[in-house]
Amino acid sequence: MGKYAVITGASSGIGVEFARRLAAKGYALVLVARREDRLKELAVRLGKKTECEVCVADLTQRAECEKLCGWLADKDVEVFINNAGFGDCGQFVKTNLDKELDMIRLNVAALHLLTKRMIKRFEERGGGYLLNVASAAGLLPAGPYMATYYATKAYVTSLTRAVAQELKEAGSRVYIGCLCPGPVDTEFNEVANVEFALKGIRPGYCAGYALDLMFHKRKTVIVPTLLMKFASAGARFLPVKVAVAAAGIQQKRKARQ
- Secondary structure class of 117 (helix, strand, coil): helix
Distances (CA, A) of 241 to 90, 140, 153, 182: 20, 11, 19, 21
Confirm if 112 and 61 have CB atoms less than 8 A apart. Answer: no
CA 153 distance to own-chain centroid: 9
153, 155, 175, 254: the active-site residue: 153
Whether the CB-CB separation of 82 and 8 falls below 8 Å is answered with yes
Half-sphere exposure of residue 107: CA atoms within 13 angstroms, side-chain side: 24
| Active-site residue, 3 included | no
3-state secondary structure of 28: strand
CA distance 184 to 182: 6
Q: Is 209 a catalytic residue?
A: no
β-strands 128-133, 174-179 pairing: parallel
Are the C-beta atoms of 34 and 60 separated by less than 8 Å? no
Spatial distance between the Cα atoms of 63 and 199, rounded to a whole number of angstroms: 38
Please tell me which residue in 4, 145, 149, 150 is annotated as part of the active site: 149
Query: Which residues are catalytic, by number?
Result: 149, 153
